[in-house]
Amino acid sequence: MRKKIVYMITKSNWGGAQKYVYDLAKSIDKNEYDVMVAFGGSGALKQKLSGERGIRTIQIESLDRDISIFKDIVAFIDILTLLIREKPDIIHLNSSKMGLLGSLAGKITRVNKRIFTVHGWSFNEKISGVKKFIIKSMSKFTTRCSTDIIVLSETEKEQTEDFTKKVHLIPNGIDLHTKFLSKDESLSKLNLDKRHRYIGVIAELHRNKALDVLISAFSNIEEKSLHLVIIGSGEEKESLQKLVDHSALSSKVHFLGHIDNASECIKAFEIFVLPSRKEGLPYTLLEAGLSKTPVISTTVGGIRSIIPNDGLGFLVKPESSEGLRDKIEILLGNEKLRKDMAETLCNHIVKNFNIKDMHDKTFKVYSNQE
């Protein structure tokens, strides 16, 4: 008899955690598992799962990313009701809020296997001491209500072991056969002028991605032919646009919004820059590396697992627009360095971040073999 597994995530708008859920849900053995995915919102994840893959999905309308005591109570009741109705053998929880609400609801309804994947602990954000204490306490509570915790990097493993020893280190993986468009094909698809040079990022327009820091760094680069491309949607669009307008950069910074399969166009960029304040282990850096595009990022979350030293890419401290600017200028001015870094990073990703390894290890957790 097939076991029933429910993947659960706070929102359906496309991002790293959503891609993680999508990769697992589409790849799990359907002869062994009856699969369902539950989420808040109605973004790209729903379309990809139900439309492209025929996987059953359930939208929890009360569930939202922002904190609201009343709405969160309603969402908890809706999650509880869903678990009572569906009677899953396994729930696999993703995102901080779903981890908290889902693990508690799963414990109350006696779901046998309650797995939570940490896509970057929220208490690592730059927040006040009181708020950090509260969030850390909630994170600890989540681990206590879960039977297993999956972390993506050694840094998260060390932090999580302060709460519980039920920890499995399973990094994100990427399909090593992923196809990328050529530079000219990418520029054409993105409708970008081939006479210019571009640096770019694919990210949700959220404060955690620190796109304001990237725009600030870009504003201090003097090369006239250089343009910045930002692919993604989110709540920060208006404030970021105001920052661009205030800096008189509207002709050189391009907000392209959400683009399906945007990563296939990464070769349009001379450099891929991810300036995050908080991360788990970002797929976009794996994709950029596999495409042999040089990368610059920050020393947060599991990024050091992808770029352990300067031979694979440049890392700067979070919030450092000066650091980003300096590294961008160094790479722009040295084609050989860009090629060498990109080649070395690609080899590192091929060796250490194969999606098959991620799948195998995760599915072993489901069957108590890991």
Supply the CATH number for residue 215's domain.
Answer: 3.40.50.2000
Q: In this structure, what token pair is assigned to residue 186?
A: 């990418």
Whether the pTM exceeds 0.85: the reply is yes
d(CA 343, CA 93): 35
From the number of C-beta atoms within 10 Å of its C-beta (0-12, 13-18, 19+), residue 352 rates as middle
pLDDT at 328: 98
Same domain, 109 and 212: no
Same domain, 205 and 268: yes
Task: Supply the DSSP symbol for 348.
Answer: H
pLDDT digits (tens, 9 = 90+) for 115-159: 999 998 988 887 888 989 999 999 999 999 999 999 999 999 999
Same domain, 218 and 154: no
Reduced to 3 states, what is the DSSP secondary structure of residue 24?
Answer: helix
d(CA 88, CA 123): 30
pLDDT at 197: 97
Same domain, 243 and 133: no
Count how many Cα atoms sit within 13 Å of the Cα of residue 285 in the half-sphere of its side chain.
Answer: 33
Same domain, 153 and 203: no
178 lies in a domain? no
Reduced to 3 states, what is the DSSP secondary structure of residue 334?
Answer: coil
190 lies in a domain? yes
346 lies in a domain? yes
Same domain, 145 and 271: no
pLDDT at 85: 97
336 lies in a domain? yes
Same domain, 227 and 139: no
d(CA 74, CA 161): 31
Alpha helices in 146-258 (DSSP H): 154-160, 183-189, 211-219, 237-246
149 lies in a domain? yes
pLDDT at 42: 79
If we measure between CA atoms, which residue out of 142, 117, 122, 149 comes closest to residue 21?
Answer: 117
Same domain, 154 and 14: yes
Q: How many CB atoms sit inside 10 A of residue 195's CB?
A: 7
237 lies in a domain? yes
pLDDT at 370: 63
Q: CA quadruple 340, 256, 300, 152: dihedral positive or negative? A: negative
Residue 361, domain extent: 3-173+355-366
- Give the mean pLDDT per block of 10 residues along the chain (370 residues): 95 89 95 95 84 87 82 95 97 95 98 96 85 93 97 93 94 96 97 97 94 97 95 94 94 94 96 95 96 97 93 96 97 96 97 96 89
Same domain, 189 and 254: yes
DSSP H or E segment with residue 274: strand 271-274
pLDDT at 168: 97
How many Å from the N-terminal Cα to the C-terminal Cα in the chain? 22
Q: Which residues contact 27 (CB under 8 A, 6 or more apart)?
A: 359
Q: How many CB atoms sit inside 10 A of residue 231's CB?
A: 23
Sheet of strand 253-257, all strands in order from the earlier edge strand to the far edge = 253-257, 226-231, 197-202, 271-274, 295-298, 314-316
50 lies in a domain? yes
Same domain, 118 and 251: no
144 lies in a domain? yes
Domain tally, the chain: 2
Same domain, 135 and 209: no
Question: Do 201 and 261 touch, CB atoms closer than 8 A?
Answer: no
Same domain, 168 and 214: no
